[in-house]
Amino acid sequence: MIYHSTRDTGLQVSSAQAIVKGIAPDGGLFVPGEKPKISIEDIAGLVDKSYREKAKGILELFLSDFTKEEISDCVEKAYNKTKFETDSIAPLYELNDTAYILELWHGPTCAFKDMALQILPHLMTTSMKKIGIDKQVAILVATSGDTGKAALEGFKDVDGTKIQVFFPTGGVSEMQKKQMVTQEGNNVAVTSVNGNFDDAQSGVKAIFGDKEFGAALEQRGSLLSSANSINWGRLVPQIIYYVSAYCDLVKADKIKAGDAVNVCVPTGNFGNILAAWYAKEMGIPIRKFICASNENNVLTDFIRTGVYDKNRAFKATISPSMDILISSNLERLLFDITGGDEGRVREWMQELQQTGRYEVPQVTKNKLKEYFYGGFCDDEGTKQTIAEVWKEYNYLMDTHTAVGYRVYRQYVEETGDTTKTIVASTANPFKFCSSVLEAVQGKPQEGTDEFEVGKILSELTGQKIPAGLAQLKEKEERFSEVCDKDAMKQIVDKFLG
């Protein structure tokens, strides 16, 4: 199967090349040239298989230039008992008759980024071998929190890779910082950059844009690459858990194979919900995609009006992983719902870059509305939802998941649709324990650090703090280097030797 750019279908590569390149040379995103299909019988045949077996089956369809052995090897290394705390990998929790919570946070960093970042390093090194590049992959990441840690855990001690993460000195939570500076592994480095997230990110972009530096590193045996969510190698593993969740509903006798379901996804960069879209395109009967945003509700407006407009104030919320004004992966959906109109996509993306805004025509608006429902919720609503769900169901949600569940309920109220719905849960509640504790006890906890807050939340709710977070406080800090933005290149240079 070939992959091509969303902005030029003539720009074609194999899946291995798409994964190694990350982004198409024209600035577009790689998408599969055709969508592999699975039938209702195929789905029924997957129901009793393990998550790993399902993963292999789906990846084989999309990564057709990989051998079965290569895919099996990548899957076994990623989705196993040493990496995930449950062998079902992404379990489905029945909250009530209609809402099923798809828990995507049983991996090493307690957030859904693990679902893709545990396997990406293996897909990447395998891809390099396949296309005959005999170099080590050097991953550079600028992070505002979750991605950095998940990438570090994914690439840690993977042969043929090195990873350098930059985080903004004042721009991450205490817990997130601790997670990163205590990172283990012999191929990792973490540096804090004076400034905000934009400084760290523009620093990394400048390094990627420095052709001379890149060429010099290649001479020395390193190929710079990124692990961000527009890479096809991050998107394709996310399709698996939607297939798996659907199968789990069939297995539990909640639906029959072939029945339609809805999905609801707390959304930022549009990667997670887009994976659900691809699952539908493959043949999983998904009727409605409920796209939940926090107060950075660019996507809600887009789905409702057809106008994408990022010209608005950025809001820092208690669901920070969704604080995003440009949802990059939306470009892939636009390509699909315009019937593959590369020219249109190119124009819109140009407008977005130049003016921060574009508007799609009526026919595209209709298509969007046919499949998508957009809604948002503010911090108050998020906390209220955590408290209500805890009270009613004894189930503890993190802030991002609560945004999703709130919008799901808005949707049901508006439409009366009682189709069974898979609600993606994207983080363990203890990862955002200050906000979760405030929601559950109705007032903020003053004067304690995040670790103490975690303990209080655990005592109050009887829920266990995940081991990865509980052990953190005692862990040795390995990285204390702080640098200015201008020095980032030197740091990479030194790290790569």
Ligand X SMILES: *Cc1c(COP(=O)(O)O)cnc(C)c1O
Q: Which residues bind ligand X (CB under 6 A)?
A: 111-113, 146, 229, 266-272, 321-322, 400, 426-427
Distance in Å, CB of 84 to ligand X, minimum: 16
CA-to-CA distance for 226 and 159, rounded, in angstroms?
Answer: 17
Which CB, 288 or 332, lies closer to ligand X? 332
| Helix 362-371 × helix 330-337 angle, to 10° | 110
Which CB, 14 or 327, lies closer to ligand X? 327
3-state SS class at 140: strand
Which CB, 188 or 265, lies closer to ligand X? 265
The single residue listed with the structure tokens 């004004």 is 325
Output phi, psi for 329, to 5 deg: -70, -10
Which CB, 14 or 293, lies closer to ligand X? 293
Tokens standing for residue 285: 């009967």
Distance in Å, CB of 363 to ligand X, minimum: 26
Distance in Å, CB of 15 to ligand X, minimum: 20
Tell which residue, 45, 48, 20, has the closest CA to residue 124: 20
Which CB, 70 or 450, lies closer to ligand X? 450
Distance in Å, CB of 109 to ligand X, minimum: 9
Distance in Å, CB of 402 to ligand X, minimum: 11
Distance in Å, CB of 135 to ligand X, minimum: 29
Tell which residue, 191, 124, 194, has the closest CA to residue 154: 124
Cα 448 from chain centre: 30
Which CB, 128 or 427, lies closer to ligand X? 427
Bridge pairing between strands 99-103 and 222-225 = unpaired
Q: Do 332 and 29 form a contact (C-beta atoms < 8 A)?
A: yes
Which CB, 103 or 248, lies closer to ligand X? 103
Distance in Å, CB of 318 to ligand X, minimum: 11
Tokens standing for residue 220: 């020395």
Distance in Å, CB of 406 to ligand X, minimum: 14
Q: Do 386 and 440 form a contact (C-beta atoms < 8 A)?
A: yes
Give kind and range of the element (H or E) at residue 222: strand 222-225
As to burial, measured by CB atoms within 10 angstroms (0-12 exposed, 13-18 middle, 19+ buried), residue 409 is middle
Which CB, 125 or 317, lies closer to ligand X? 317
Distance in Å, CB of 258 to ligand X, minimum: 28
DSSP category for residue 219: H
Which CB, 378 or 493, lies closer to ligand X? 378
**Cβ atoms within 10 Å, residue 420:** 17
Which CB, 191 or 296, lies closer to ligand X? 296
Distances (CA, A) of 305 to 371, 405, 422: 14, 23, 25
Beta bridge partners of 265: 291
Give kind and range of the element (H or E) at residue 6: none
Distance in Å, CB of 152 to ligand X, minimum: 14
Tell which residue, 308, 346, 315, 324, has the closest CA to residue 269: 324
